[in-house]
Amino acid sequence: MSVVHTTWKTQRFAKKLKKDLETITSLVWEDKTNPHDIENLLDDFSNNTSQFEASIQRDEAEYREYLGYINLAEKKWGGYEKLLQTVSRDDHPDSKEVEKFFSNADNIERELKKLWGFTEEMVTDWYKLTDRLEDVIKRCDYNTRFIHKESQERDSTFSEMSSAARQIKKAKRWSWRYVSISSSVWDRSLRKAHEYYEKWDFSRALDAANSAKSIAINAISDAEDADRREQRRRDEERRRKEEARRAAARAAAAAKRRAAERRAAARRRSSSSSSISFGWGSSGGSWFSGWRM
């Protein structure tokens, strides 16, 4: 059985067995040695040999467990290192916590290299080294989760800020028509959101973005209401003008009709008067002429 992966404790046990065996051998060659003493020593040596073999097996089992942990730690570190590289290449600002992760990344890598080196050395206790590997794994896991969580919060906040900016743009278009709203209100809120975002204070950035978005949405609602009211007013005004036009047209037609009727009546009266005057003139002339004769 290989002793490369055994601990120093097992190695000291091996040296003791070797010394005990040398003692037994020397006693065997002595003439005055009591056979019972040799027999007792051999029994002790046999028991110690069994314990030594058990110690070797235990060391090997602990070593295999250590290899499992170090492979897992290497995998965790690989994923974490790749994530750090991705974060370093994006255009978003890094939080102070993430900046610490970058500065401490070399420490994790050095620790992992040291722990890899122990696989080819004699060690004191594999379990103590495994504890150090567990610490590396925990740090990689924690930092990875932290970055993912922070990235999700960052992306969600950025999305809300973009949505607020779109609503503000729409509100500004409406404000040019029937309502006048000071854009400084929502612009100030959105500017605050960007400031908090740059500081990775996503909670406040989200609140400021939502405030700006809410102001813009309310402004749009007010503008739409004003637009509908203005449209109704204009429609009503057009309707009144149309009714007035039609009433004027009807009045003009009625006046024209009455004028025509008056002219027709006047012509009839004029015609009747002419007929009566002509009749009186003929009769009177004949009577007067007879009287004179």
What are the pLDDT digits (tens) for 45-75? 777 777 777 777 777 888 888 889 999 999 9
Rounded CA gap, 198 and 215, in Å?
22
Name beta bridge partners: 7: 123
Q: Which residue has the higher pLDDT, 197 or 290?
A: 197
* pLDDT at 7 exceeding the cut of 80: no
Rounded CA gap, 235 and 143, in Å?
64
Q: Which residues contact 265 (CB under 8 A, 6 or more apart)?
A: none
**pLDDT grade, residue 274 (50/70/90)?**
low
> Are residues 133 and 115 in contact, defined by beta-carbon separation less than 8 angstroms?
yes
Looking at the chain, the number of H-run helices and the number of E-run strands are 6, 0
Average pLDDT of the residues in 14-38: 71
Rounded CA gap, 13 and 221, in Å?
86
Can you tell me whether residue 178 is helix, strand or coil? coil
> What's the confidence (pLDDT) of residue 288?
43
Could you give the C-alpha distances from 11 to 1, 2, 5, 58, 115, in angstroms and in order?
A: 13, 12, 10, 13, 21
> What's the confidence (pLDDT) of residue 179?
59
Which residue type occupies 8?
A: W
**Percent of the chain beyond pLDDT 70?**
81
* pLDDT at 145 exceeding the cut of 70: yes
Rounded CA gap, 270 and 200, in Å?
103
* pLDDT at 80 exceeding the cut of 80: yes
Query: Phi and psi dihedrals of 179, rounded to 5?
Result: -120, 150
Average pLDDT of the residues in 104-131: 84
> Are residues 216 and 168 in contact, defined by beta-carbon separation less than 8 angstroms?
yes
- As a whole number, the mean pLDDT across the chain is 80
Weakest-pLDDT range from 115-124, 136-145, 240-249, 281-290? 281-290
| Domain boundaries along the sequence of the chain | 160-251
Rounded CA gap, 159 and 285, in Å?
116
Torsion from C-alpha of 7, 10, 16, 20, nearest 10 degrees: -150
> Are residues 59 and 10 in contact, defined by beta-carbon separation less than 8 angstroms?
yes
Residue (of 56, 58, 73) closest to 130 by Cα position: 73
Q: Which residue has the higher pLDDT, 205 or 38?
A: 205
Q: Which residue has the higher pLDDT, 233 or 98?
A: 233
* pLDDT at 212 exceeding the cut of 60: yes
* pLDDT at 265 exceeding the cut of 70: yes
Rounded CA gap, 211 and 275, in Å?
95
Q: Which residue has the higher pLDDT, 90 or 262?
A: 262
User: Which long-range contacts does 82-87 make (Cβ < 8 Å, 24+ apart)?
Assistant: 83/144, 83/147, 83/148, 84/147, 87/147, 87/151
Average pLDDT of the residues in 273-287: 53
How is 182-195 classified by DSSP, letter by letter? -HHHHHHHHHHHHH
Rounded CA gap, 69 and 71, in Å?
5
